[in-house]
Amino acid sequence: MLEIIWAILESYAFFIIHPFFYLVIFLIAYLYHKMVQTEVKLLGWPYNDWRRQIIPSLVAGFAGGFIASLVLVLPGFYLSIWGIYLMLIIAIMLLTIHPRFLCFAYSVGIVSVLVFLARLLVNDFPGEAPGFLSTLAEIYIPGMLVLVAALHLTEAVLIYLSGHLGASPVFYKSPGGKIVGGFRLQRFWPVPLVLLIAADFHETLYETIEGPGWWPLSQPDLAGGMAGLLLVAAPVAMGYADMAISSTPREKSIYSSCYLAIYSLCLLGISLASVFHFLAVPLGIIFAPLGHEIVVYLGNKREMECSPIYTAPEDGGVKVLAVYSRTSAEQAGLQSGDVIREVNREKVHDTGHFWRLVLGGGFWTYLLVERDGSQISVVMQRLYQERKKRGFFPWGKGRVSPSSPDNLGLVLVPDTRAKVYLEAVNYNPWNKLKKWLKRR
């Protein structure tokens, strides 16, 4: 067993020279940059620094990849390289329907149906079956199910640990038509995976590995004879996109990861059973996409049906949605969820009134803030002139964030006058299918 773990660690050295791994990192950097561009469109200025997102994602991705590799390799779940290629192609085709279908949980079901059809045709084929049909029939379905379970289990761990980091404050238009504040959660991870691939002894140029007597759980057989098992380094990109309207980003990432972990462990158990019992294979094929749909449904249902927490106070004042780093608001200790009741001992009526009071004040601003049911006094000092003079202004000389007049660093919960927002839409493929059937 230790030899297998050591072989996995040795395989990680290949990622240093793996060109596709650097391509995945470049893709993730590009996605973070696009996320920051969206912040600029909504807030007028970037809330996150996309360059600071890459290193934490890289570290978390390596840890998650090692966990997934252990889940896949230690029990001896082997994969067919053609099965992986086919799942990837089908996942890209499903992307044209909706971005969230770019997931192996959906493509594994389609590939499995194709494998079953190919096996039926091979058995009934007169003479020798075509090569592509034989290759398709040899794809090992339990191994693909374990791959899907391991990837989603890794994603659940990554979401729990870092899914809330770098959340972007945004304005959402809820299905009821009300504009509320919220957070857009987007994280991306480059995940280096080590996979166990079955290859014909007569074809492979690589040295195969050996393990304990019980390993692997099932021995692959290929058309060309007994197969050897190779460790192959495969870089994978993982992503998480969600929204937090009726919960904080941390709360959202916790229960999203719990739903996903339960789904992954159930699928992993079914996959393990399918190695020894053929009847468990159809169950895994059905559960992979259906269980994933249930996870998405439960997460959206909880978020949409609960009351939004980032709404403008009805009894006066303004609520803080987010605070920019290295600004007056952060130095004063203001936090997301604070309700500002008074500015310089004058009651605040709405967002416009708040900014007029702040900009009409002096160098010091006195705030009466309500936090967790208690009231505290906050003194806020304007830092713009000092930072500009010393050259420490975080956004460049002479430039002020449009989302926070005079560089206070506050993003307030929107009121009814907000003109820039995102639509909070709960995508349901079953409703689209019903509409399509009615048109027919």
Q: If DSSP states are collapsed to H, E and C, what string results for 235-304?
A: EEEEEEEEEECCCCHHHHHHHHHHHHHHHHHHHHHHHHHHHHCCCHHHHHHHHHHHHHHHHHHHHHHHHH
**What is the rounded distance in angstroms from the CA atom of residue 145 to the CA atom of residue 73?**
14
Q: Mean of the per-residue pLDDT values for the chain?
A: 80
pLDDT at 259 over 80: yes
Q: List the single range of 97-106, 234-243, 337-346 with lowest mean pLDDT.
A: 97-106
Residue 301, number of CB atoms within 10 A of its CB = 11
Is 227 a residue whose pLDDT tops 60? Answer: no
388-426 CB burial, b ≥16 within 10 A, e <16: beeeebeeeeeebbebbebbbbbbbbbeeebeebbebee
Separation between Cα atoms, residue 211 and residue 309, nearest integer Å = 54
Give yes or no for residue 386 having a pLDDT over 60: no
Contact between residue 28 and residue 243 where contact means Cβ atoms under 8 Å apart = no
Specify the pLDDT at position 195.
86
Instruction: Decide: 42 and 170 in contact? Cβ < 8 Å.
Output: yes
- What's the burial of 98, exposed, middle or buried (CB within 10 Å: 0-12/13-18/19+)? exposed
Using the structure block, give the residue that is written with the tokens 């693909």.
144
**Half-sphere exposure in the Cβ direction for 162 (13 Å, CA):** 21
Extract the tokens encoding 278: 């053929």
Using CA atoms, how far apart are residues 440 and 438, in angstroms rounded to an integer?
A: 5
CATH of 318-412, one of 3.40.47.10, 3.40.50.920, 3.20.190.10, 2.30.42.10: 2.30.42.10
Count of residues making up the chain:
440
Question: CB within 8 A of 80, min separation 6: which ones?
Answer: 138, 139, 140, 143, 144, 197, 198
Tokens 């001896």 found at: 76
Q: Which amino acid appears at position 222 of this protein?
A: L
Q: Does the pLDDT at position 93 exceed 60? A: yes
- Reply yes or no on whether the pLDDT at 407 is more than 70: no
| DSSP structural state of residue 370 | E
Region 380-396 average pLDDT: 47
Q: How many whole angstroms separate alpha carbon 89 and alpha carbon 93?
A: 6
Residue 402 binned pLDDT confidence (cut-offs 50, 70, 90): very low
Sequence spans of domains, the chain: 2-79+140-305, 318-412
User: Cα–Cα distance between 3 and 275 in angstroms, integer?
Assistant: 24
Residues 24, 65: Cα–Cα separation, whole Å: 14
Q: What percent of the chain has pLDDT over 70?
A: 79
Q: Sign (positive/negative) of CA torsion 244, 49, 101, 291?
A: negative
CA distance 54 to 70: 24
Q: Kindly report, residue by residue over 294-338, the tens digit of the pLDDT.
A: 998 888 888 878 888 888 888 888 999 999 888 888 888 899 999
Strands 168-173 and 179-200: antiparallel
Dihedral angle over CA of 36, 42, 47, 52, nearest 10: -10
Rounded Cα–Cα distance for residues 216 and 218 (Å): 5
Give the C-alpha separation, 238 to 24, whole Å.
10
Residue bearing tokens 């019903």 = 434
User: Which of 256-260, 285-289, 333-337, 435-439 bottoms out in mean pLDDT, i.e. has the lowest?
Assistant: 435-439
Q: What percent of the chain has pLDDT over 90?
A: 22
- Distance from C-alpha of 181 to C-alpha of 185, rounded to nearest angstrom: 13
pLDDT digits (tens, 9 = 90+) for 330-385: 888 899 999 999 999 899 988 888 888 888 777 788 999 999 888 999 888 765 54
Angle at 338 between CA 332 and CA 344, to 5 degrees: 60
What sign for the dihedral angle of Cα 86, 92, 95, 96?
negative
- The structure tokens listed for 171 are 């304005």
pLDDT band, residue 157 (cuts 50/70/90): very high
Q: How far apart are CA 85 and CA 434, in angstroms?
A: 32
What's this model's pTM, rounded to 2 decimal places? 0.82
The count of other CB atoms within 10 Å of the CB of residue 43 is 22
Average pLDDT over residues 184-208: 71
Gap between the Cα atoms of 150 and 157, Å rounded: 11
Better-predicted residue by pLDDT, 379 or 401 = 379
Confirm if 377 and 352 have CB atoms less than 8 A apart: no
pLDDT at residue 257, as a whole number: 94
